[in-house]
């Protein structure tokens, strides 16, 4: 097996700065040595990931805490809600966890977002650590401090900005990830190319087959470069007053797909992949990018095995339904939807677009 050197990506946020560790076999090492000790740790995981990795994580951290508790939540986006979040508070209170308790999020973005939000709320804030185990969570959701849950009327609508103490990405955990989830994670990797780094877009074109084959070196590079770009963006705009919104390329359309289909029917990454096709088509329609870049983005998403056509959400007025759902997006300003568009030089901006233009794009992009 090729040796993969552990890499460290810093995220600079003043007193909230931390490090993202990327490597193989990290759950068996003393990577957690620098964490503050405490009476309690709670590993929050789910019924799928817990049996695979919770014991290894417990062994890795137990010298730092007098008691290590584990809670396994039900698995799936459909459980990213108040009811499930309350199970974490029930576990914390039942075990009499105090303010020096550290929460460990062990799982994908669903577990990570909920655990971070629980940490932000419990006793008005306790420390937490992200141990992401999906590609999507290693390249995106575990980094940057967005935490929260869904509301039936909108995705991720209840939450808080709350940064972890550290992020530990063990690429070895990706070996057990289902194929469909790996592909969904690739959507969030691909987005970093057109929004920030055309060289990375080229690298992805050359290495997509290696990523799909779970080549460890390729995965380590893709995770590191994604985290570097995200760390740069979040370091400049932690609370999304402007720049950070570019990380949502494809997400305005994608969130409409997730909410319109019912959470969990389409994976988040699948909806984002298809949403990026729509956002790239919109950018081309606005003449911000040429046909060549549009084809390159489309081709990468197709090679990653992601859906290329949006679902029909309403057979009488499909575009109207998308627009209605997109107005709930957090980027909307007084009901005006703002879209992340790309400009062809590794640059993205956010802009309002006439509904008629968006309607044309939706009609062209849906099956
Ligand atoms: P997920 O958390 O649902 O995980 C996907 C599936 O893979 C689940 O069934 C999970 O149990 C399973 N799994 C996880 N790790 C595994 C492993 N190593 N081996 C086998 N199975 C494993 O989905 P996700 O794609 O990781 O995350 C999606 C969520 O992330 C969405 O809720 C989305 O809104 C959120 N998100 C948040 C941010 C952010 O900045 N906070 C960014 C992007 C996405
Ligand atoms: N995933 C988008 C963000 O973190 O801002």
- Summarised one tens digit per residue, pLDDT across range 161-209 is 999 999 999 999 999 999 999 999 999 999 999 999 999 999 999 999 9
Single out the catalytic residue among 255, 296, 331, 338.
255
What are the tens digits of pLDDT across the range 335-348?
789 999 999 999 99
- Mean pLDDT to the nearest integer, 297-310: 98
Is residue 73 scored above 70 in pLDDT?
A: yes
**Contact predicate 188/138, CB 8 Å:** no
Active site residue 251: yes
Active site residue 347: no
User: Which of 80, 134, 188, 229 to mutate to test ligand 1, by most ligand atoms within 8 A of the CB atom?
Assistant: 134
8-state DSSP, 139:
I
Atom number of ligand 2 nearest to Cα 233: 5
Q: What is the pLDDT of residue 29?
A: 65
Say if residue 5 is exposed, middle or buried (CB neighbours under 10 Å; 0-12, 13-18, 19+): exposed
Sorted by where each starts, the structural domains of the chain and their CATH numbers stand as 7-176 (3.40.50.1970), 179-365 (1.20.1090.10)
Is residue 314 scored above 70 in pLDDT?
A: yes
Is residue 28 scored above 80 in pLDDT?
A: no
Q: What is the pLDDT of residue 243?
A: 95
**Contact predicate 7/26, CB 8 Å:** no
Active site residue 248: yes
Assign 236 to helix, strand or coil. helix
Q: What is the whole-number distance in angstroms between the Cα of residue 93 and the centre of ligand 2? A: 30
Is residue 360 scored above 70 in pLDDT?
A: yes
Atom number of ligand 2 nearest to Cα 248: 2
Q: What is the pLDDT of residue 152?
A: 81
For residue 7, which of 19, 18, 17, 22 has the smallest C-alpha distance?
22
Calculate helix-pair angle for 291-303, 179-190, nearest 10 degrees.
Answer: 160
For the chain, how far is it from start to end, CA to CA, in angstroms?
43
User: Which of 73, 118, 136, 330 to mutate to test ligand 1, by most ligand atoms within 8 A of the CB atom?
Assistant: 136
Q: What is the pTM of this model?
A: 0.96
Pocket of ligand 1 (CB under 6 A): 46, 48-49, 52, 75, 77, 80, 107-111, 113, 133-134, 136-137, 140-141, 144, 146, 156, 173, 176-177, 181, 184, 268-269
Pocket of ligand 2 (CB under 6 A): 140, 144, 146, 244, 247-248
């Amino acid at each position: 097996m090729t040796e993969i050197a552990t890499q460290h990506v810093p995220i600079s946020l003043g007193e909230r700065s931390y490090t993202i560790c990327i490597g193989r076999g990290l759950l068996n090492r003393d990577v957690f040595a620098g964490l503050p000790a405490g009476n309690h740790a709670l590993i929050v995981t789910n019924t799928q990931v817990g049996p695979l990795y919770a014991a290894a994580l417990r062994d890795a951290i137990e010298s730092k805490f007098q008691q290590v508790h584990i809670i396994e939540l039900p698995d799936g986006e459909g459980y990213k809600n108040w009811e499930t979040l309350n199970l974490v508070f029930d576990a914390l209170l039942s075990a009499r966890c105090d303010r020096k308790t550290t929460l460990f999020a062990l799982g994908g973005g669903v577990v990570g977002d909920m655990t971070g939000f629980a940490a932000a709320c419990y006793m008005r804030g306790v420390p937490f650590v992200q141990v992401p185990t999906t590609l999507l969570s290693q390249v995106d959701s575990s980094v940057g401090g967005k935490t929260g849950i869904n509301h039936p009327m909108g995705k991720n609508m209840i939450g808080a900005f709350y940064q972890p103490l550290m992020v530990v990405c063990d690429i070895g955990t990706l070996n057990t990830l289902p194929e469909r989830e790996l592909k969904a994670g690739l959507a969030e990797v691909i987005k970093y190319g057109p929004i920030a780094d055309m060289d990375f877009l080229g690298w992805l074109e050359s290495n997509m087959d290696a990523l799909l084959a779970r080549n460890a070196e390729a995965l380590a590079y893709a995770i590191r470069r994604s985290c570097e770009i995200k760390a740069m963006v979040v370091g400049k705009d932690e609370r999304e007053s402007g720049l950070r919104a570019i990380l949502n390329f494809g997400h305005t359309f994608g969130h409409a797909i997730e909410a319109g289909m019912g959470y969990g029917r389409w994976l988040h990454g699948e909806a984002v992949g298809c949403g990026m096709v729509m956002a790239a088509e919109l950018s081309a329609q606005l003449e911000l990018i040429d046909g060549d870049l549009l084809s390159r983005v489309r081709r990468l998403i197709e090679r990653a095995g992601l859906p290329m056509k949006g679902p029909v959400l309403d057979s009488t007025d499909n575009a109207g339904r998308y627009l209605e759902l997109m107005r709930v997006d957090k980027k909307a300003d007084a009901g005006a939807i703002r879209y992340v568009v790309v400009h062809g030089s590794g640059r993205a901006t956010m802009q309002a677009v006439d509904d008629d233009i968006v309607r044309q794009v939706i009609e062209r992009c849906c099956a």
